[in-house]
Structure 1
Amino acid sequence: MTISRRNVLLGGAGLAGASALPGFTGGAFAQSVPQYKPEPGASLRMLRWSPFIKAEEEAWLANTKKFTEATGVEVRIDKESWEDIRPKAAVAANVGSGPDIVWVWFDDAQQYPDKLMDVTDLATALGGKYGGWYPGNEAYAKANGRFIAFPLATIGNAICYRDSWVKDAGFSQFPNDTKGLLELGKALKAKNHPMGFTLGHGVGDGNNFCHWVLWSHGGKMVDDKSKVVINSPETVAALRYARELYQTFIPGTESWLDVNNNRAFLAGEISVTANGVSLYYAAKNDPKLADMAKDIKTTNMPVGPGGPAELTQTTSACIFKYTKYPQAALAYMSFMFDAPQMNAWIQGSSGYCCQTLKAFASNPIWTSDPNHAPYAKASELLRPNGYSGPLGPQSAAAMADWIVVDMVAEAATGQRTPEEAAKRAEMRASRIYRG
Structure 2
Amino acid sequence: MTISRRDLMIAGGGLAASAAGLPLLGAQAFAQSPTYEPEKGASLRVLRWSPFVKGEEDAWLANTKKFTEATGVEVRIDKESWEDIRPKAAVAANVGSGPDIIWVWFDDAQQYPDKLLDVTDFATALGAKYGGWYEGLEGYAKRDGRFIAVPLAAIGNAVCYRDSWVKDAGFSTFPDKTDAFLEMCKALKAKGHPTGFTLGHGVGDGNNFCHWVLWSHGGKMVDENGKVAVNSPETIAALKYVRELYQTFIPGTESWLDVNNNRAFLAGEVSVTANGVSLYYAAKNDPKLAEIAADIRTTNFPVGPVGKKVELHQTTSAVIFKYSKFPKAALAYLQFMYDKPQFDAWLTGASAYCCQPLKAFASNPVWTSTPIHAPYALASETLRPNGYAGPLGYASAAVMADYVVVDMVAEAATGQRTPEEAAKRAETRANRYYKV
Q: TM-score, normalised by structure 2?
A: 0.96
- 1:6-64 CA-to-partner distances (Å, cap 9, x unmatched) read 997565x798994225464422x221221000000000000000000000000000000
Q: 1: CA distance between counterparts of 2:264 and 2:359?
A: 35
Aligned to 1:419: 420
Deviation for aligned residue 1:434: 1.7
Indicate yes or no: 2:314 matched with 1:317. Answer: no
Q: 2: CA distance between counterparts of 1:276 and 1:287?
A: 20
Write out the 4+ residue segments of structure 1 that deviate beyond 3 Å after TM superposition: 6-11, 13-18, 21-25
Q: 2: CA distance between counterparts of 1:118 and 1:391?
A: 17
Partner SS state of residue 44, structure 1? strand
Aligned to 2:203: 203
- 1:104-155 CA-to-partner distances (Å, cap 9, x unmatched) read 0000000000000000001000000000000000000000100000000000
Aligned to 1:339: 340
Aligned to 1:229: 229
Q: 1:388 to 1:59 in 2, by over 3 A?
A: same
Q: 2: CA distance between counterparts of 1:379 and 1:26?
A: 29
Aligned to 1:128: 128
For 1:143-182, what aligned pairs fall within 5 Å after superposition? 143-182=143-182
Q: TM-score, normalised by structure 1?
A: 0.96
Q: 1:411 to 1:73 in 2, by over 3 A?
A: same
> What letter matches 1:112 in structure 2?
Y
Is the 1:8–1:72 contact (alpha carbons within 8 Å) kept by the matching residues of 2?
no
Is the 1:23–1:35 contact (alpha carbons within 8 Å) kept by the matching residues of 2?
no
Aligned to 2:16: 19
Across the aligned residues of Structure 1 and Structure 2, the Cα RMSD in angstroms comes to 1.6
For 1:352-371, what aligned pairs fall within 5 Å after superposition? 352-371=353-372
Q: 2: CA distance between counterparts of 1:69 and 1:14?
A: 11
Partner SS state of residue 410, structure 1? helix
Is the 1:199–1:254 contact (alpha carbons within 8 Å) kept by the matching residues of 2?
yes
Q: 1: CA distance between counterparts of 2:123 and 2:15?
A: 20
Deviation for aligned residue 1:365: 0.3
Aligned to 1:326: 327
Structure 2: stretches of 5+ with no match in the other structure = none
> What letter matches 2:390 in structure 1?
G
Partner SS state of residue 172, structure 2? coil
Aligned to 2:69: 69
Q: 1:411 to 1:372 in 2, by over 3 A?
A: same
Aligned to 2:254: 254
Structure 1: stretches of 5+ with no match in the other structure = 1-5
- 1:316-371 CA-to-partner distances (Å, cap 9, x unmatched) read 00000000000000000001000000100000000000000000000000000000
Q: 1:387 to 1:14 in 2, by over 3 A?
A: closer
Q: 2: CA distance between counterparts of 1:14 and 1:117?
A: 25
Is the 2:226–2:391 contact (alpha carbons within 8 Å) kept by the matching residues of 1?
yes
Q: 2: CA distance between counterparts of 1:380 and 1:81?
A: 26
- 1:170-213 CA-to-partner distances (Å, cap 9, x unmatched) read 00011001101110110000011000000000000000000000
Indicate yes or no: 2:54 matched with 1:54. Answer: yes
Q: 2: CA distance between counterparts of 1:24 and 1:187?
A: 56
Q: 1:14 to 1:45 in 2, by over 3 A?
A: closer
Q: 2: CA distance between counterparts of 1:102 and 1:165?
A: 41
Is the 1:23–1:30 contact (alpha carbons within 8 Å) kept by the matching residues of 2?
no
Aligned to 1:3: none
